[in-house]
Amino acid sequence: MPYPFLEHLSILAVSSRNSFSLSFSLSIFPRLNNLYISNFEGLEFLSISVSEGDPTSLNSLEIKEYPDLEYIELPALESARYKISNCRKLKLLAHTHSSLQELRLIDCPELLFQRDGLPSDLREVAILSCNQLTSQVDWGLQRLASLTKFTINDGCQDVESFPNESLLPSTLTSLHISNLPNLKSLDSNGLRHLTPLTTLSIFIKKQTYLKQVSYKRWQGCVLIIGPAKQYP
């Protein structure tokens, strides 16, 4: 049964002693703008789809507090924003090609990116407390020709130098680095091509690691260096 006028949907606190999967289509919610689903105990597989040619208005999707979730499959959507947080067993995030604008991944310590695993039209990416994302090459950020804002915070235990050369696309205007526990240096080869950059924020525990940063290099760019903090 379609729900042609529903614009906001929240699904909360579903628990099961047994593991289970959930699949559903957005086609029955043609005007749905915001979808929030949280705290499904026992859910291991989540698939959200939309049939080709069917209208959909979804702009914001938030998936939160899935203690058993290991796999998420997301639909192809235009101009949407996804936030996935506190999915501590999540290993794989799959998607079809879309014009997704913003992706925020928070506290997903088991998540690994597949090669070429991010939608190519992303404009904003935030990675917070995702400990397994240590191989910067596999992030595929250099393919994101529309990316303007990148935030990395906490986790990434093996990252000592950031960013690797050619990791970030030259379209970036805002870069936020916070609380990488073993960060020792900024790689000038990974930064020098970011000529459109207007904001560079660095929050770490040991500022002495960053003596090599040249302020002259960032004329016209707001450079902030301070003690470690958490991003919301």
Domain boundaries, the chain: 1-111, 133-232
Residue 167 has φ and ψ, to the nearest 5°, of: -70, -45
pLDDT digits (tens, 9 = 90+) for 152-198: 888 777 778 888 888 899 999 999 988 887 887 778 888 888 888 88
Dist. CA 141–CA 208, nearest whole Å:
28
Neighbours of 142 (CB within 10 A): 17
Share of the chain above pLDDT 70, in %: 79
Element counts in the chain: helices (H) and strands (E)? 0, 14
Token couple for 206: 């040991």
Task: Give the model's confidence band at 146: pLDDT under 50 very low, under 70 low, under 90 confident, else very high.
Answer: very high
pLDDT at 40: 84
Dist. CA 203–CA 224, nearest whole Å:
8
pLDDT digits (tens, 9 = 90+) for 177-188: 888 878 877 788
> Given a cut of 80, is residue 60 above it in pLDDT?
yes
Q: Which residue has the higher pLDDT, 194 or 136?
A: 194
> Given a cut of 70, is residue 124 above it in pLDDT?
yes
Dist. CA 172–CA 170, nearest whole Å:
6
In whole numbers, what is the pLDDT of the chain averaged over residues?
80
Task: Name the nearest CA neighbour of 86 among 113, 114, 63.
Answer: 63
Beta partners for 175?
Answer: 150, 200
pLDDT at 35: 94
> Given a cut of 60, is residue 137 above it in pLDDT?
no
pLDDT at 41: 87
Task: Please tell me the pTM assigned to this model.
Answer: 0.83
pLDDT at 214: 40
pLDDT at 232: 46
Q: For residue 42, what are the contacts with CB-CB under 8 A and spacing of at least 6? A: 15, 16, 17, 18, 19, 20, 68
Neighbours of 197 (CB within 10 A): 21
Q: What is the mean pLDDT of residues 114-131?
A: 82
